[in-house]
Structure 1
Amino acid sequence: MPALSPVDYAVPFFILLILIEVAWARRRAPASYEARDTLASLAMGLGSTVAGALFAGLFTVLALALYGLRVAEIGWAWWAWIACFVLDDFNYYWAHRTGHRVRWFWASHVNHHSSQHYNLSTALRQTWTGFPALSFVFRIWPVLIGFHPAMIATVGAVNLVYQFWIHTEAIRRLPRWFEAVMNTPAHHRVHHAINPQYLDRNYAGVFIVWDRMFGTFQPELDGVRIHYGIVKQLGSFNLLWTAFHEWIGIFRDVWHAPWSAKLGYMVRAPGWTHDGSRDTSDMIRARWQALQDNRGGTVAPD
């Protein structure tokens, strides 16, 4: 019988915290939960668990094969666990950033952003297609330098567990020293926002320092109402559409595009088109910034 991961142990606490937040929301923020949306998030989480179980064997075989090519033997010392956790979080940052900037990877990640609500159930709205999309390549490579696959899988699961609690509007701001180093609800609300000034910011998993280091940090601004979801909202609670709509979009675009543009619809930014008929996040941000400059630099409240 395979060992349980940290995520398996955390699931009962996830459910308990969601129930507590629902009770809080009924009194303080009733619009933060919508029954069909919550059910869709929970169903996506269940489907993601099933997909993960189906592909776990393939991932294990691949990871162990690569581990056989390792250049060093790092072992299981306490410092190795810390080093592995920090390295994995660094890798997560780049995987996450690529997941927003390359449409192929966005097709897998977009599921997580498809809710127009932001609550703890949103954290469970996970992809079904992460393995087929090859998203694991960003986090599996440390086996080549000697980190054992089981160690990488464990710290990756801990990283995922950490990210659960930051999907809430119930917690506003935390002490400045904590906000300076760690990812928090305030930072991650920005990441889930579709406000132009917030698009494609705060990719961190656990440590917000990566965003500060690589120029993608954006603080949450007082007085700015956050709008959640994706630029072109789903408009549906259909699970299959939620899970596969962007893959369908890629297929349609590649099918109809001229040969010179077909690859671009897979590897360029979401929203890119060969004829400029749609907008990327950079285009949306630039247009918003030009408007702010014309207004004298005042940030619009919405």
Structure 2
Amino acid sequence: MKPAFDPVTLAIPFFILAIILEIVLTRLKVTRAHYETKDTMASLAMGLGSNVAGLLTAGVVVAATIWTYQHRLFDVPMTAIWAWIALFLLEDLTYYWFHRLSHERRFWWAAHVNHHSSQHYNLSTALRQTWTGGLAGTWILWLPLALLGFPPAMIAIQKGISLVYQFWIHTEAVGRTPRWFEAVFNTPSHHRVHHARNPRYLDRNYAGILIVWDKLFGTFQPELDEEACRYGIVKNLSGFNVLRVAFHEWIAMGQDVARHPRHALGYMFGPPGWSHDASRDTSATLRTQWEAGQGGEPEPQPEPHQAPQKAASA
């Protein structure tokens, strides 16, 4: 069921205009942003492909949501203000755990890693979305909202509002917002940390709209003036092939499972970087090495247009 009011569809012209404006202001040296033509085109291609992929799984998602709603525990009125406030909080909490799962377990990281694969951080990065999220099944996490009695259209609208909100936080053009806003909401400063590959910043700030979830569950990390964010993944990709961007981690995971079938579950559902012989680093081990002063910094990576020094993987 597609809602009559679709925030994402309505916001698409704004997204494009905002990206163009950020590029123009950067060229005029009015604001700060880093754009690379091929990188931006890859992000736009990923965004377009994500919409197409979403259509392929939409029938299953909608059918499952409607079926769940038909077995709802309560009747939540779509016209009640309290219902929208409750849904806002519950959907944002759901997003937090979806996002955290997508970083902490490799199977779902394989569907999410493409969003982090750009070595630049600008508004076009927000459009670098998954092609395989529907197949990975993370949409199941939102079914309890329908079970509680929130109408499917209402859930879809709130998810759209969350996605539209998260667009503007993908920028370096905005420094820090007022302290009261930084304390409650996800902001460009908080989300820059989330996209950074510095050991200090890895796997932090999973928030959608409210940063309070990270503070509540111990995953909050403020952006520090003394440590600039370095963007991308621990071992960055070279080139801009959108098929590689979309599927490289699925391929790498399949290769690991084929080579080590006895450890298949670990390679599929362990944290990204897990290996049966501990020969690879996870976010936790990189952070531990950094904290111990042993140099848990990722190796310097080539710029996207340069030849890689070694094979890249997530």
TM-score (norm 2): 0.90
Mapped partners of 2:166, 2:220: distance in 1: 17
Mapped partners of 2:55, 2:89: distance in 1: 25
Q: Secondary structure at the match of 2:75?
A: coil
Once the two structures are superposed, what CA deviation does each residue of 1:144-203 show, in whole Å capped at 9, x if it has no partner? 111111111110010000000000000001000000000000000000000010000000
- Percent identity of paired positions between Structure 1 and Structure 2: 59
Structure 1 residue runs of 4+, over 6 Å off? none
Shift of 1:62: 0.8
- State the match for 1:300 in structure 2: none
CA contact (8 A) 2:32 2:173 kept: no
Shift of 1:292: 7.7
**Is 2:131 the counterpart of 1:128?**
yes
Consecutive unaligned residues in structure 1, runs of 5 or more = 294-302
- State the match for 1:40 in structure 2: 42
Q: CA RMSD in A?
A: 1.5
Shift of 1:105: 0.5
Shift of 1:236: 2.0
Distance 1:30 1:152, change over 3 A: closer
Once the two structures are superposed, what CA deviation does each residue of 1:89-109 show, in whole Å capped at 9, x if it has no partner? 000000000100000110001
Q: Secondary structure at the match of 1:262?
A: helix
CA contact (8 A) 2:170 2:191 kept: yes
Mapping for residues 211-250 of structure 1, pairs under 5 Å:
211-250=214-253
Mapping for residues 84-163 of structure 1, pairs under 5 Å:
84-163=87-166
CA contact (8 A) 1:140 1:152 kept: no
Once the two structures are superposed, what CA deviation does each residue of 1:103-159 show, in whole Å capped at 9, x if it has no partner? 011000101000000000000000001110001122222111111111111100100
Mapped partners of 2:25, 2:121: distance in 1: 14
Shift of 1:225: 2.0
Alignment partner for residue 187 of structure 1, among 185, 190, 193? Answer: 190
Once the two structures are superposed, what CA deviation does each residue of 1:198-256 show, in whole Å capped at 9, x if it has no partner? 00000000000000101000000002121100001111200100000111011000000
Mapped partners of 2:200, 2:176: distance in 1: 19
TM-score (norm 1): 0.94
- State the match for 2:279 in structure 1: 277
Distance 1:94 1:172, change over 3 A: same
Consecutive unaligned residues in structure 2, runs of 5 or more = 296-314
CA contact (8 A) 1:186 1:220 kept: yes
Once the two structures are superposed, what CA deviation does each residue of 1:42-62 show, in whole Å capped at 9, x if it has no partner? 000000011112221221111
Output the amino acid matched with 1:269.
Answer: P
Output the amino acid matched with 1:22.
Answer: I
- State the match for 1:74 in structure 2: 76
Aligned pair count reads: 292
CA contact (8 A) 2:185 2:210 kept: yes
Mapped partners of 1:204, 1:125: distance in 2: 18
**Is 2:295 the counterpart of 1:290?**
no
CA contact (8 A) 2:174 2:188 kept: yes
Output the amino acid matched with 1:9.
Answer: L
Shift of 1:30: 7.4
**Is 2:188 the counterpart of 1:169?**
no
- State the match for 1:6 in structure 2: 7
**Is 2:175 the counterpart of 1:206?**
no
Mapping for residues 6-25 of structure 1, pairs under 5 Å:
6-25=7-26
Mapped partners of 1:113, 1:4: distance in 2: 29
Mapped partners of 2:132, 2:244: distance in 1: 13
CA contact (8 A) 1:101 1:270 kept: yes
Mapped partners of 2:211, 2:50: distance in 1: 26
**Is 2:36 the counterpart of 1:26?**
no
**Is 2:37 the counterpart of 1:64?**
no
CA contact (8 A) 2:117 2:233 kept: yes
- State the match for 2:265 in structure 1: 263
